[in-house]
Structure 1
Amino acid sequence: MGSLLLYLICLFMASTNVNAFPGFQKREAPFDQVRTRLNRHYQDAEEDEPDKYFHEATFHQHYDGRFGDKKLKYEERLSHLSALIQTYFSTMNDIGAETWIMHGTLLGWYWNRGILPWDTDLDVMVSERTLYHLAEYYNMTMHHYHIPGLNTARDYMLEVNPHYSEDGIDSSNQIDARWIDTETGLFIDITALRRNRTVDSAGAEDEADAMMVKDKHHYLYDDIFPLRQSTFADAPVKIPFAYPELLTEEYGEEALSKVFYEHHRFNIEKGEWKTLRFSELHGLSGLSRNTSYWGMRLPLKHG
């Protein structure tokens, strides 16, 4: 009886640890070890970066070539990206992970709580403690969702970079983890906010206030926390506390006011970006930055 009990305990530990400790390697999970609809991969494995873990697709840098084989059409991409962010935050909320939107995704939130229509990826951050928790218990886990808007079921994979615990700037491994759509290859880049243990940042009252990310971004603790509750792409999300200052520093003041960008015009009445027709683009060719369109500023608001 004792031997049987010991065997069952060992069997349980082995089964639960498959996802928790998948045998971190120096390369991305091999194509033949992940579930995919493709019979070949489209990964761009850069020979000049042998230590890089995450590799992008040969046809576009914002797709994972183990799962995607082509770029989605403009009309398709937005619905798939929306499902990507909705399933990510649903999973992270269930786990109790501390995570928030950043970079271009935060800029899209600022304009209309939605994804910028020309964007092809999404960016989020997690706390360092959350990253370690995800790496220990959720790495390489698959998450199954039924997506009403897509009328199909979809599997999403959480993959953690084995270099996640290495502090400091790392140009080859700036991305700590990814949330990947295993049908299209689209993904969310996940980076961890860490204490800056190597420098005393100007303006920080003590070293604990200085924060950093592997991609060379530096912050103060009060830039991020306390996080604000909001919505994005119809999903409950969190945003950094000092979002106006963060967006202005990263993109400039014009990014918070310019209503023409990437062949789109922001319709203030409807609160949405619309694709410009060719005739409209031609008419804008002589538009000066001094006109009211370029100088129009939207009020800062949150919630």
Structure 2
Amino acid sequence: MIKLYPRRIFIKLVLFLTVFYAIFISIKLILSQPNLRQYSYLIDQKINLKYNEIYFNLLASKHDFDSNTFFQKQVEKITETSITNDKLSMLWNLEKSGFKQEDTSIFEIETPSYFFENIESPMVQPFDSRFTIGIYYQYLQNVNSSVPFHWSDWVDLSKIYKFLINIEDTRENVCSTIFDISSQTELIKGSQIKQVEEYCRYEPDSLLGYKIIKETGPQTVQNRELLGKSYLFSTAPSPRKLIFLTNNGSFQANVETPLNQLENSILYNDMINNLQNPTKVNVLHNYNSLISSAQLQQQHITQQELTYQVLGIPKADFNIDPETVINQLSSSKLPLSDMEQQFLSSLKFSHGNTDPPKYFYEAKLLNSIPDDWQGEHYDWRFFNGLTVGKDKQAIVLHRLVKNYLNFARNHGIITWIAHGSLLSWYWNGMAFPWDTDIDVQMPIAELYKLGQHFNQTLVIENAADANGEFDGMGRYFVDVGSSITSRIKGNGNNAIDARFIDVDTGLYIDITALAMTDAKSPSRYDSMVSQLGKDAQMRVKNARGGEAGKDANYEIINSELQLYNCRNNHFTSYAEISPLVRTTVENQISYIPYNFITILNDEYNLSSLSKKNHRAFTFLNNLRLWFDTKIIKSHLDRKNSDISSEELTYGELHAINKLSVKDHLNLLASNPALLKEWLQTHKFTKLHSQELKLIRNQDFKSVQNLQKDKEIGKPLRSDLFMDLVHHDEDLKSLSFEERAKKFSNW
């Protein structure tokens, strides 16, 4: 007797019909393409993508929670209950009160009396971004000149202040006393540490008694923080200029001197005396005054903002001759600015160096430290502890994306999200919860623009939005490497061209440029040769050289096929990138490559666009979010589920696909982190799902209409410092002067 398995037969039938449908749609789409030789590849890609999408979503329930009134009412009740029981203040920014413009106590700092009275002031004072940024906003309204700068006003360096002139009996050995770990054999086992004298210099006449002079090699987490902060306090040069973002361009101010001197800090410089109302500093009020002031109108930067829905990139932007740029700058009839002079010097250094040293150094941790790899995702100068897996990390990455995209777009810099960040955009427009950095790319010409006009600058987030309501106070350091003329992998030290670094944590955006080079391009582009004209085909054939391509001339091959690469040998064709398509990333306007699916397929495989289980997370279709797999499994009514496993069986995948409305409500009620993420992101992720469908159908006009939503551009997560204000009792309850007294025993 033949056994029938109705469920298995049904599944196979669905998959068969899916493949048949995919073939039909693919042929219909491909017939509209001018190049018949791409049929095979495009059909295969379409079939595989459609197959994976159906397989991982088979029989999935579709709950429209955005319009389900029952669900929304239940979520309101769950939110109220969760906030009431929120002992750790995880949900503070979901409260209806929040931070509002009229809440003066939140945005206003009373200037300490030691600025005005004839009394002794403390040696250093607490860090508060509201105080610093508020003073600079007001100062710039009255002063048409460069500004003083010290890192202690812009980064919290308080952890090193305990070393200020107070180790009298050990000052000659102060470097070893604080940082030497060479005798801790178990701790340093497997790590190549540096001798303390290589990076720490004894300076008895300095405030710290020592100076960190260079990067430091692998370290403990505690030392990493102290070393970076010590470097910023007494060694790191000042930024060349400050760029204050507004809702319409930016306001820029040169920094008076690159010298690192505490005398340039607000505590010692004369900025307070140049303010009209120095007794109280309100960052929100001062921002709104600055953007409406005559001073701003006179100095406002009017760079071309990128507003195109579909943006074609000139091919010439991928092929820059450094010698031509060097000669142009060297022979300029107009005097070069300090930044341009530095850029010219950097180009000359880079162009004449065949073995460039490593430029960017991360906060490398000792191998003995659990999850030591995490340190590689922080710039060592700004490292402020590990944040992976914490809400703080999601806040920082979100604000990094927001401010990088606003900075680039408002200054006409062509850039797009890439690699893992492009993949995470595809899923729900948000960074993956396991992400530790953001990846973007740009043409080599745009990297030159970034280096010439913005290198070594500090970018300050707009404190208010277009409605005058609080936005944020993030600060970001633009750092361009010193070997950008070298466009091949070389010694492998400099795969990254530039970084956009969050100075609160050291987390960053990796910026890599694509350029035409003579590096060996992948064989996957060989099929493109047949698309060329006969003369071009012959040039490529001749350039391939002898047997097995041993003598191949890839400069000619890459030029004819229009193939570009970064210094880590990631190759992309011009047809895959251009024109760029305007989209939204983390609720911010951005650009993506035109053929993003092909790029993601080449880099990650098409299954990455559909597989709903990765690392320790599973994608919940109806919430449009990745969440902890083990927690989701614990809610499944399945006897054989292995709750300890981070992998999903097919049965578990099917069970998750079939979660009911009640199941989702139970998940939200029992997991405040998931509730918070849903409430913060659900409006945007819905817009993203609509946008993605339109982009895949190349309906760019409808995409443009979607992007007129007034909510686009607003932050989805709280400001990092304001989040700290809500969790730090001293920041909530003590005045700035009271904190200064407690802080330094003044």
Return the TM-score normalized by structure 2. Answer: 0.33
Structure 1 residue identity aligned to 2:486: E
Cα deviation, residue 57, structure 1: 0.6
Cα deviation, residue 267, structure 1: 0.9
**How many Å separate the matches in 1 of 2:563 and 2:419?**
19
**How many Å separate the matches in 1 of 2:590 and 2:215?**
31
Deviation readout 1:43-68 (Å, 9 max, x if unpaired): 5548xx98111111124111112011
Structure 2 residue identity aligned to 1:216: N
Indicate which of 123, 132, 137 corresponds to 2:448: 132
**How many Å separate the matches in 2 of 1:87 and 1:255?**
28
1:154 maps onto 2:515 in alignment:
no
**How many Å separate the matches in 1 of 2:396 and 2:215?**
21
For residue 183 of structure 1, give the secondary structure of its aligned residue in structure 2: coil
1:87 maps onto 2:403 in alignment:
yes
**How many Å separate the matches in 2 of 1:129 and 1:293?**
49
Structure 2 residue identity aligned to 1:65: W
Structure 2 residue identity aligned to 1:189: D
Q: Which residue of 2 aligns with 1:145?
A: 461
Q: Which residue of 2 aligns with 1:288?
A: 649
**How many Å separate the matches in 2 of 1:251 and 1:52?**
28
For residue 265 of structure 1, give the secondary structure of its aligned residue in structure 2: strand
Cα deviation, residue 150, structure 1: 9.9
Cα deviation, residue 198, structure 1: 4.8
**How many Å separate the matches in 1 of 2:152 and 2:449?**
23
RMSD: 3.3
1:260 maps onto 2:613 in alignment:
yes
Cα deviation, residue 151, structure 1: 7.3
**Are the equivalent residues in 1 in contact too, given 2:488–2:568 (CA < 8 A)?**
no
Q: Which residue of 2 aligns with 1:8?
A: none
For residue 461 of structure 2, give the secondary structure of its aligned residue in structure 1: strand
Aligned in 2, Cα 1:264/1:287: closer, same or farther, shift over 3 Å?
closer
For residue 475 of structure 2, give the secondary structure of its aligned residue in structure 1: strand
1:65 maps onto 2:385 in alignment:
no
Q: Which residue of 2 aligns with 1:29?
A: none
Identity across aligned pairs (percent)?
A: 29
**Are the equivalent residues in 2 in contact too, given 1:125–1:193 (CA < 8 A)?**
yes
For residue 564 of structure 2, give the secondary structure of its aligned residue in structure 1: strand
Cα deviation, residue 275, structure 1: 2.0
**Are the equivalent residues in 1 in contact too, given 2:356–2:483 (CA < 8 A)?**
no
Deviation readout 1:79-107 (Å, 9 max, x if unpaired): 11000010001000111001000000001
Q: Which residue of 2 aligns with 1:104?
A: 420
Cα deviation, residue 183, structure 1: 0.9
1:75 maps onto 2:397 in alignment:
no
Cα deviation, residue 273, structure 1: 1.1
Deviation readout 1:183-210 (Å, 9 max, x if unpaired): 1111000000111345576325461511
For residue 215 of structure 1, give the secondary structure of its aligned residue in structure 2: coil
User: What runs of 5+ residues in structure 1 fail to find an aligned partner?
Assistant: 1-14, 16-31
Cα deviation, residue 117, structure 1: 0.7
**How many Å separate the matches in 2 of 1:141 and 1:266?**
38
**How many Å separate the matches in 2 of 1:224 and 1:290?**
39
Structure-to-structure mapping, 1:84-233, within 5 angstroms: 84-146=400-462, 153-170=473-490, 171-198=492-519, 202=526, 203=528, 205=532, 207-208=559-560, 209-233=562-586
Structure 1 residue identity aligned to 2:362: E
**How many Å separate the matches in 2 of 1:93 and 1:192?**
17
Cα deviation, residue 230, structure 1: 0.3
**How many Å separate the matches in 2 of 1:271 and 1:34?**
40
Cα deviation, residue 134, structure 1: 0.7
**How many Å separate the matches in 1 of 2:470 and 2:507?**
15
**How many Å separate the matches in 1 of 2:591 and 2:447?**
16
Identify the range of structure 1 (266-275 vs 98-107) with the bigger mean alpha-carbon deviation: 266-275
**Are the equivalent residues in 1 in contact too, given 2:442–2:513 (CA < 8 A)?**
yes
Return the TM-score normalized by structure 1. Answer: 0.78
Structure 2 residue identity aligned to 1:76: K
**Are the equivalent residues in 2 in contact too, given 1:44–1:56 (CA < 8 A)?**
no
Indicate which of 149, 153, 156 corresponds to 1:37: 156
**How many Å separate the matches in 1 of 2:650 and 2:408?**
42
Q: Which residue of 1 aligns with 2:664?
A: none
Equivalent residue pairs, number: 269
**Are the equivalent residues in 2 in contact too, given 1:156–1:181 (CA < 8 A)?**
yes
1:56 maps onto 2:417 in alignment:
no
**Are the equivalent residues in 2 in contact too, given 1:259–1:293 (CA < 8 A)?**
no
Aligned in 2, Cα 1:230/1:44: closer, same or farther, shift over 3 Å?
farther
For residue 174 of structure 1, give the secondary structure of its aligned residue in structure 2: coil
Aligned in 2, Cα 1:262/1:76: closer, same or farther, shift over 3 Å?
same
Identify the range of structure 1 (263-272 vs 203-212) with the bigger mean alpha-carbon deviation: 203-212
Identify the range of structure 1 (260-269 vs 273-282) with the bigger mean alpha-carbon deviation: 273-282
Q: Greater CA radius of gyration, 1 or 2? A: 2
**Are the equivalent residues in 2 in contact too, given 1:43–1:64 (CA < 8 A)?**
no
**Are the equivalent residues in 1 in contact too, given 2:613–2:648 (CA < 8 A)?**
no
**How many Å separate the matches in 2 of 1:221 and 1:273?**
33
Aligned in 2, Cα 1:150/1:193: closer, same or farther, shift over 3 Å?
farther
**How many Å separate the matches in 1 of 2:495 and 2:654?**
37
For residue 421 of structure 2, give the secondary structure of its aligned residue in structure 1: helix
**Are the equivalent residues in 1 in contact too, given 2:500–2:508 (CA < 8 A)?**
yes
Give 1 or 2: higher strand fraction: 1
Structure 2 residue identity aligned to 1:56: E
Identify the range of structure 1 (208-217 vs 91-100) with the bigger mean alpha-carbon deviation: 208-217
For residue 61 of structure 1, give the secondary structure of its aligned residue in structure 2: helix
**Are the equivalent residues in 2 in contact too, given 1:44–1:55 (CA < 8 A)?**
no
For residue 195 of structure 1, give the secondary structure of its aligned residue in structure 2: coil
**How many Å separate the matches in 2 of 1:70 and 1:271?**
30
1:235 maps onto 2:596 in alignment:
no
**How many Å separate the matches in 2 of 1:272 and 1:154?**
26
Identify the range of structure 1 (59-68 vs 89-98) with the bigger mean alpha-carbon deviation: 59-68
Cα deviation, residue 276, structure 1: 2.8
Aligned in 2, Cα 1:244/1:272: closer, same or farther, shift over 3 Å?
same
Cα deviation, residue 288, structure 1: 3.5
**How many Å separate the matches in 1 of 2:613 and 2:644?**
9
Aligned in 2, Cα 1:103/1:290: closer, same or farther, shift over 3 Å?
farther
**How many Å separate the matches in 2 of 1:57 and 1:43?**
9
**Are the equivalent residues in 1 in contact too, given 2:398–2:586 (CA < 8 A)?**
yes
**How many Å separate the matches in 2 of 1:93 and 1:131?**
14
**Are the equivalent residues in 2 in contact too, given 1:64–1:186 (CA < 8 A)?**
yes
**How many Å separate the matches in 1 of 2:601 and 2:153?**
40
Structure 2 residue identity aligned to 1:55: Y
Cα deviation, residue 283, structure 1: 3.8
